[in-house]
A and B are shown apart, each in its own frame.
Chain A
Amino acid sequence: GAVVSQHPSRVICKSGTSVKIECRSLDFQATTMFWYRQFPKQSLMLMATSNEGSKATYEQGVEKDKFLINHASLTLSTLTVTSAHPEDSSFYICSARDRQTGTSNYGYTFGSGTRLTVV
């Protein structure tokens, strides 16, 4: 089945530094990539949606200059958290949508998530 590889799985960084998270679709072409954030005991909140080759669309309240998204190819999307602060500590998950949407859940495949801790 479709697989999305997300790295790193866990990262600890100092306040003020930037962190890049990668998501790769291994055996399919991801036309759309969704980036979610999840705080403890809360639901996954969509941060932004990116389509290959175009600018990402950010959800209300998400700073586009802080969370930089690049979707330069059909198999790779990156999220860079710039000038990270402790309040950015969270679980970040990507979800790629397959071009072929005939699967039972309309082709959404999740990465394994990245746990970011900013100290």
Chain B
Amino acid sequence: RKEVEQDPGPFNVPEGATVAFNCTYSNSASQSFFWYRQDCRKEPKLLMSVYSSGNEDGRFTAQLNRASQYISLLIRDSKLSDSATYLCVVLPLLGGYNKLIFGAGTRLAVHP
């Protein structure tokens, strides 16, 4: 079983749509969670951290359910510029150093 699993998509949505991505992780001891965005042939960039209480940043809302080991990202009022791959990222607690564990990503294509 993969440590972080995501629906690969692609999600093809019109501008203005609301779209939700889901992610599950296998290590119940994981400490921190993030959503990254990756454009084609570019490095991943942090979109937002994910907290148990849920958090919102403009049109983006992230939620964490530790009991179900489930993370979600909601994008409202999609823009063409939102087209990218969204990576679910988990930071386990490991000894002397921490390494980010990436999901394979969910592709989003927003069309006019």
Q: Which residues of A contact B (CB under 8 A)?
A: 32, 34, 36, 41-46, 49, 51, 91, 93, 95, 97, 104-106, 108, 110-113, 115
Contact = CB atoms under 8 A, between A and B. Distances in A.
Contacts of A93: 43-44
Interface residues of B, number: 22
A19 to B, nearest CB: 18
Given A105-B34, A113-B43, A46 B99 contact: yes
A60 to B, nearest CB: 13
Given A43-B102, A95-B100, A104 B41 contact: no
How would you classify the secondary structure of chain A's contact residues: helix, strand, loop or mixed? strand
A49 B42 contact: no
A32 to B, nearest CB: 6
